[in-house]
Amino acid sequence: MGKLFGTDGVRGIANVELTNELAYKLGRVGAYVLTKQNHHAKSRLIIGKDPRVSGDMLESALIAGILSAGCDVIKVGVVPTPAIAYLVRHLKLDSGVMISASHNPAEYNGIKFFNSEGFKLSDDIEEEIENYILNGKDIEIEPSGLKIGRKTEVYKANDLYSEFVASTIDTDLEGLHIAIDCANGASSEVAVTTLRALGAKVDAFHHIPDGININKNCGSTHTEVIGEIVINGGYDAGLSFDGDADRCLAVDENGILVDGDKIMAICAIELQKANMLKDQTVVSTVMSNIGFEEALEKRGMKALRAKVGDRYVLEAMRENGYVLGGEQSGHIIFLNHNTTGDGLMTAVKLLAALKKSGQKMSELAGVMQVYPQVLKNAKIKNEFKHTYMEDAVIAARIKEVEAAFHGRGRVLIRPSGTEPLVRVMIEGDDQALLEKYAAELVSLIESRLGKA
């Protein structure tokens, strides 16, 4: 990754790391790089945000930068990230920008770009933008007069997005009583209106954003909250979004988590029934539970594992034409409908499957057995964290542990992308045995490679 862009745009503490100056440069340079090949008079970009307090500040700086590059801006206010990805395509725009730090606390914010096809930027484009900004270079044009961009404000974006999401299912949701946790984020309005328009009885929680309560003890990083609400309120199911609503997790009528693996399994079965699952394949990540693979295999489907991160899931999907992929975290991509993870679409797809099944959510989620997983970290100096498999003793012990599971478990070792850690994940039937093996491998890795 470059020095500005991380795995999901440019992110940092607003007004400290992610400053107005940087936002202005990202708007100016990003607009230029993304639209310089266009031949029509003026390029058009759409810009949205989640409701955190720094959104207005960064939005103003971004817009100023974009306008200074001679591009017009359509400002749509608070919308989910997947709405921007959809609207870029629907309105035939040249690019989209979302201001959000997703599931991070309110003091953080982020800026992510989408190209004209609604996809996040490639590494090459991000590096080109970084090259201008980090090397102090300015863009090759300096518009003036009539060539300066103009801003238009449109506040019906959520309506367009809501209609689009609702159109992706072929049933109503009447008869379902649902609780939703909006994380005081971008889904706070549109999730409620969409589900109610489809006929569900909806009670919303954490849906009154004040700029500083986004993700605070609520949302998809705190699913125990919606779980308790569902148990106490007698709901059919609960849904929990993150701050920018590009992911969604659920709980069943007993408050038990229905994670991204279970949601993908349920949705894969629905796609298979409709003969719409390309090559009977779903793209997951190396962190997906082994029970997910088993659930698919029992029904003649298979899972293709990608590296952790939605960008790698999407790469595998686009390369092979697969239509469903995602992560345990609830970041799920329905590529035949949208070009990025879409929490609201995930919600309506899951609820449509629930309605059609006539079952309880716990029964629907029972398509997949969840194997216990134990995750521990070995603290290793950064320079050694990629060399663990070069050590014959470590490699041999990993193989021995895997063999002991007799196909009913697995070992996953991977270096952290950001910290001096090697992550040890072991999966199998016996929780106590998993804890023992994980602790043993952590100790072995630290002793062989040197503890940080």
What amino acid positions are annotated as catalytic residues? 102
What are the strands, taking DSSP E only, across 33-94?
A: 44-49, 72-78
Give the count of alpha carbons within 13 A of 34, CB side only. Answer: 33
Round to whole Å and give the CA distance between 110 and 98.
Answer: 8
Edge-first strand order for the sheet with 421-427 is 373-379, 421-427, 410-415
**Axis-axis angle for helices 190-197, 343-357 (nearest 10):** 30
414's enclosing H/E stretch is strand 410-415
Q: Are strands 44-49 and 72-78 parallel, antiparallel or unpaired?
A: parallel
Residue among 213, 262, 215 at smallest CA distance from 237:
262
What are the strands, taking DSSP E only, across 115-226?
A: 151-153, 177-181, 201-205
Helices (H), 204-259: 223-233
User: Looking at this protein, which amino acid is placed at residue 371?
Assistant: Y
Q: Are strands 95-99 and 44-49 parallel, antiparallel or unpaired?
A: parallel
β-bridge partners, 379: 421
Give the count of alpha carbons within 13 A of 130, CB side only. Answer: 15
Round to whole Å and give the CA distance between 51 and 216.
Answer: 13
What's the sign of the alpha-carbon dihedral 415, 17, 187, 315? negative
Helices (H), 288-391: 290-298, 310-320, 343-357, 361-365
Round to whole Å and give the CA distance between 228 and 212.
Answer: 23
Count of other CB atoms within 10 angstroms of residue 289: 22
